[in-house]
Amino acid sequence: MIREKNKNSGIKIMQNKFYPVVFLTIIVLVAVVLLMYVSNITRVKILEQREAKILNQLKNIFPDMEKYELKDDIYIILKDGKSISYAFIAKGKGYGGEIQTLVGIDKDFALKEIVVLSNSETPGLGSKITLSSFTDQFKGLKSNEVVLNKDGGRVDAISGATISSRAVTDSVREELNDKIEIIKNNGY
Partner 1 sequence: MMEIEEKFTAKRFWKEIAKGIVLTNPVFVLVLGLCPTLAVTTSVDNALGMGAGVIFVLLGSNIIISLIRKITPNMVRIPVFIVVIAAFVTILSLLFEAYIPPLYESLGIYLPLIVVNCIILGRAEVFASKNPVLLSMADGIGVGLGFTVSLIIISFLREVLGTGSLQIFGKKLFAIPVLSQSPLTIFIMPPGAFIVIALLMALFKLLGVLKNE
| For partner 1, the closer CB: 34 or 70 | 34
The answer to the question of residue 124 lying near partner 1 (CB under 8 A) is yes
Adjacent-strand bridge partners of 113? 104
The answer to the question of residue 31 lying near partner 1 (CB under 8 A) is yes
| Cβ-proximal residues to 100 (8 Å cutoff; 6+ apart), any chain | 89, 90, 91, 116, 117, 118, 119
Torsion of CA 114, 120, 125, 128, to 10 degrees: 20
| For partner 1, the closer CB: 6 or 42 | 42
Q: Is 78 exposed, middle or buried (0-12, 13-18, 19+ CB in 10 A)?
A: middle
3-class DSSP string for 77-89: EEECCEEEEEEEE
| For partner 1, the closer CB: 29 or 70 | 29
Residue 163, Cβ neighbours under 10 Å: how many?
16
The answer to the question of residue 7 lying near partner 1 (CB under 8 A) is no
The answer to the question of residue 125 lying near partner 1 (CB under 8 A) is yes
Encoded one letter per residue, x for contact with partner 1 by CB under 8 A and - for no contact, window 82-121 reads ---------------x--------------------x-x-
Q: Which residues bind to partner 1, rule: CB under 8 A?
A: 14, 19-21, 23-24, 27-28, 31, 34-35, 38-39, 42, 45-46, 49, 53, 97, 118, 120, 122-125
